[in-house]
Amino acid sequence: MTASADKIPLKLAVLTVSDTRTQEHDTSGQYLVDNLLAAGHTLAARAIVKDDIYQLRAVVSQWIADPGVQAVLVTGGTGFSGRDSTPEALTPLFDKHIEGFGETFRALSFQEIGSSTLQSRAFAGLANRTVIFCMPGSTGACRTAWEGIVRDQLDSTYRPCNFASIVLRGVQDPR
């Protein structure tokens, strides 16, 4: 459900967590970039970082301190395999956790992959008025998160509420 008010574009960063992907082979990150641009937002930054707690924290800490980044989309590192450490790396940075993101993502994902969705540790939070959505590394999971949750929550016209209004609150000229 979308209202007729003018949509305010946000400045987003995309982080791919992977020990093997390169920009050329990053279909999940590219999916997110293509869709955020199609939705009228701006790509403020993009990076691929190895699954290392301290490297992940360093990049995301820089972005949440940067007023030119209002939202961060993270793909990868949310499973249970040996090096998956995105939740451990990023949740300490959060001022508030958005529990409903992981719950809703897994409910949507269950319709697609059944009980395998239990192995997803998708999560989200707010840090320094920057919203951070962390989703699994597959392009299909990014599509599920974007189409089912993230696109609407980054749309300033989406009602009854959205996270765009939270990150924009207090910004003098958000355009």
Q: Quote the CA–CA distance of 165 and 81 in Å, as a whole number.
A: 36
Q: Which tokens is 80 given? A: 């249970």
47 with 76: CB under 8 angstroms? no
Give residue limits of the domains in the chain.
11-160
CATH of the domain spanning 11-160, picked from 3.40.50.970, 3.60.15.10, 3.40.980.10, 3.90.550.10: 3.40.980.10
- Residue identified by tokens 């869709």 is 35
pLDDT tens readout for residues 86-142: 999 999 999 999 999 999 999 999 999 999 999 999 999 999 999 999 999 999 999
The pTM (predicted TM-score) of the whole model is 0.93
Q: How far out from the chain centre does Cα 61 lie?
A: 14
